[in-house]
Amino acid sequence: MKLTFLGTGTSFGVPQLGCRCAVCRSPDPRDKRNRVGAAIETNAGAILLIDTPPELRLQLIAAEIDRVDAVLYTHGHADHTHGIDDLRAITARRNIHLPMYGAADTLAELARKFAYIFDDEIRPLPGTTKPQGRAIVIGAGESVRIADVDVTAVAVPHGPVTVFAYRIGPLAYVTDAKSLPDDAVAQLRGARVLVLNALFRRPHPSHLSLPEALGAAAAVGAERTYLTHLTHDNFHADLEAELPPGVTPAYDGLTITV
């Protein structure tokens, strides 16, 4: 299984618009972070997207990905969903309804915001196309088989809302979590690779801080942990140097084998 980090930044991205801090002006390409999302290539060659961030077209081009077989949505916030229209090039070329998995409230929110994608009664004008999505509701703790992998939705708190982390075979992918409850840790434990959000060094009401993320990573106990959803608080190189063994900051375009 191959994991590609399409984006590793927060909702602001890095550099932030209008910011002149040292990290936002850094020449290190690892300090340039688009909104967060990932692509997984299974052993059978299926491509699963986690979320559709606003820079999706550019992210897929950079990763040389031109086919998607399913999308796993963590939640409905704009930085995780508003690149959904970029899937038009994929569904139109293959003439498919792309399976899109997520919680019932997430998919309902997407259907309200992007009705033209999910409503087959809304037809494009002759000679034009639209993205075509097929919403598939999954419940917390439920597993589904997608291509050759089992995918389990794991509920985690994100401030006042609940988001889905995903356990995909040996991979655990968690973003926008404020904490990892005991039942979530139990579902994620045993993963060889953990992806985990780490927003600031200071506490935040809806995201894990760096110290909290390190504690959560220790609880899960994966062989390798990659931190994502990072802000302009840290230079990549400095953060990498201070993290404990087995924990690494991810960066846009990083590809690893799981």
pLDDT tens by residue, 188-209: 999 999 999 999 899 999 999 9
Please give the biggest Cα pair distance in the chain: 57
Does pLDDT of 178 surpass 90?
A: yes
Res. 127: pLDDT tops 90: no
Mean of pLDDT values over 29-34: 98
| C-alpha span between 83 and 204 (Å, rounded) | 26
Sheet with 47-50, edge to edge strand ranges: 133-137, 98-102, 70-72, 47-50, 37-41, 2-7, 255-257
Backbone angles phi, psi at 228, to 5 degrees: -135, -175
CA distance 15 to 242: 22
The whole-chain average pLDDT of the chain stands at 96
Q: Is the pTM of this model over 0.95?
A: yes
pLDDT (mean) for 58-64: 98
Where does 2-257 sit in CATH, by number? 3.60.15.10
Lowest mean pLDDT of 29-38, 93-102, 105-114, 141-150, name the range. 93-102
